[in-house]
Amino acid sequence: MRIGSILENQNIEKRITITPEIVKKYTSLGIEVCLIENYGSHLGIKDEQYKDIGVKILNDENEVLNSSDIIVQLGILSDDKIFKMNENQTFIGVLNPYNNKAKLEKLAEKKINLFSLELLPRITRAQSMDILSSQANLAGYKAVIESFASFEKAIPMMMTAAGTVPAAKVLVVGAGVAGLQAIATAKRMGAIVFATDVRMASKEQVESLGGKFLTVEGSENLETEGGYAKEASDDFKKKQEELLSETLKKIDIVICTALIPGKKAPLIIKDNMIKNMQAGSVIYDLAAIQGGNTSFTEVDKIIDKNGVKIMGESNILNKLPISSSNLYAKNMFNFIDNLFDKDSKKININLEDEIIEKTLIK
């Protein structure tokens, strides 16, 4: 059994799926690892490091893909590569089935086993494989660092002989994994932190991190059985809008993290709210790639509206590629470890296993 991986499009993705640390875990299962040359060189990992631990390094992408039983990547491969895959191969990554439906159906017809890790169920046994949580954690942290770097005032309160510098006020919109990490990071750096979320279960988590949870009067709990946020009613949206409008007048930095799986990001911070914000404020929109939580967010641009900077990137994890690759590689191994039959040394697609059944694209 051989597992292989090639480089992603370096213009949009710098993370890798197999790190030297994880190679040892694959080989302990009896799985051979095959990589394209210079696979980790942009992260300071030389081919020799891989070769020293038994990795086969090839200089032809097609050879890596064709000779591997399992192919692991961050995202789906380009058409010219993925349609050359062979029957009964297994492809695992973040395949975005909502946007790649036609392509994935064609691959499934070729009897290629397709697993998309963002479809993992939110159950205890799947936590070690949860790529959304591991990557969102880093994204929440980095969003705070990036927004603080663009904010032209001090973050913590400082008492000096010349006077007191007040602490910056931060609002985190969406208290999922990214939002909770953003709250924790902002608090550690001395900010006063507020947060809002449609899921009432988040209130206790926000407060445990030292944040103040903004509650919409008469709130309904908008949480799916899987633990994700679902779309709010028009009445809730109106009440949330009124609360946010008043809150944003005194906020210095906003971190937006609100996403609905498979849908456009909800528009939460509207034109009139931004007009009422203080000049010099910063909004960092982690939902930019899915349309953004503000009406002015543009991917990979800093937009200035009435002195308010609005930031959003296509892939903030490209700024933390080593840490994010390490976590993603561990998530991937744990998923394959669950998928791999140790006795037969083959992939075992057991549809009675909820993890396998939910992530398999049929």
Q: What is the pLDDT of residue 253?
A: 98
pLDDT band for position 107 (cuts 50, 70, 90)? confident
Q: Which residues neighbour 321 within 8 Å (Cβ) at sequence distance 6 or greater?
A: 14, 15, 16, 42, 43
Q: Mean of the pLDDT values across residues 168-182?
A: 96
Question: CB under 8 Å to 18, separation ≥6 — which residues?
Answer: 3, 5, 26, 33, 35, 39, 72, 329, 332
Average pLDDT over residues 121-135: 95
For the cut 90, the answer to whether the pLDDT of residue 52 exceeds it is yes
Residue 346 pLDDT exceeds 70: yes
pLDDT tens column, 267-280: 999 999 999 999 99
C-alpha torsion sign, points 100, 102, 103, 108:
positive
Render pLDDT for 20-51 as a digit per residue (tens, 0 to 9): 999 999 999 999 999 999 999 999 999 999 99
Q: Identify the three-state secondary structure at position 284.
A: strand
Q: Which of 127, 150, 208, 314 is catalytic?
A: 127
Residue-by-residue DSSP string for 307-322: TEEEEE-S-GGGGSHH
Please give the residue that has the higher pLDDT: either 231 or 2: 2
Q: How far is CA 112 from the centre of its chain?
A: 26
Mean pLDDT of 54-65: 95
Instruction: Please tell me what DSSP assigns to residue 18.
Output: -
| pLDDT (average), residues 188-210 | 93
User: Does 130 participate in catalysis according to the annotation?
Assistant: yes
Residue 81 has what pLDDT?
A: 86
Residues 6+ apart with CB under 8 A from 281: 151, 251, 252, 253, 254, 307, 308, 309
pLDDT of residue 201: 84
- Rounded mean pLDDT, 246-260: 94
Residue 98 has pLDDT above 90, yes or no: no
Q: Which of 100-104, 176-180, 351-355 has the lowest mean pLDDT?
A: 100-104
Is residue 324 annotated as part of the catalytic site, yes or no? Answer: no
- As assigned by CATH, the class of the 136-318 domain is alpha beta
8 A C-beta contact, residue 333 and residue 22? yes
Pinpoint the residues of the chain covered by CATH 3.40.50.720. Answer: 2-119+321-361, 136-318
Q: What is the average pLDDT across 56-79?
A: 94
Can you give the pLDDT at residue 225? 55
Q: How far apart are CA 284 and CA 254, in angstroms?
A: 6
> Do residues 293 and 273 lie in contact, with contact meaning Cβ atoms separated by under 8 Å?
no
Active-site position among 228, 245, 323, 353: 228
Render pLDDT for 309-331 as a digit per residue (tens, 0 to 9): 999 999 999 999 999 999 999 99
Catalytic-residue membership of 141: no
pLDDT band at residue 264 using 50, 70 and 90 as cut-offs = confident
Confidence band, pLDDT 50/70/90 cuts, at residue 261: confident
pLDDT tens track for 214-230: 987 655 555 555 555 55
Among residues 116, 133, 181, 325, the one annotated as catalytic is 133
Active site residue 328: no
Kindly tell me if the per-residue pLDDT of 126 is higher than 90. yes
- What pLDDT is stored for residue 227 in this prediction? 53
Catalytic residue among 69, 130, 197, 252: 130
Which residues lie across from 282 on neighbouring strands?
A: 253, 309
- Name every residue whose Cβ is closer than 8 Å to that of residue 142 and which is 6 or more positions away in sequence: 316, 317, 319, 320
Q: Where are the beta strands (DSSP E) in the chain?
A: 2-5, 32-36, 56-58, 70-72, 90-93, 113-116, 158-160, 163-165, 169-173, 192-196, 212-213, 253-256, 282-285, 301-305, 308-312, 340-341, 346-347, 360-361
**For residue 59, is it left (φ>0), alpha (ψ between -120 and 50) or beta?**
alpha
228 assigned to active site: yes
The model's confidence at residue 259, banded by pLDDT at 50, 70 and 90, is confident
Read off the pLDDT of residues 229-248 as tens digits, 9 standing for 90 and up: 556 667 777 887 889 999 99
**287 vs 241, residue with greater confidence:** 287
Residue-wise pLDDT tens digits, 348-362: 999 999 999 999 997
Of the listed 47, 49, 122, 245, which one is catalytic? Answer: 122
Cα(197)–Cα(195) distance, rounded to whole angstroms? 7
Percentage with pLDDT > 90 across the chain: 77
- Fold entry, domain 2-119+321-361: Rossmann fold (3.40.50)
Tokens 């890596």 belong to which residue?
64
- The residue whose two tokens read 């009406």 is 295
pLDDT at 230: 54
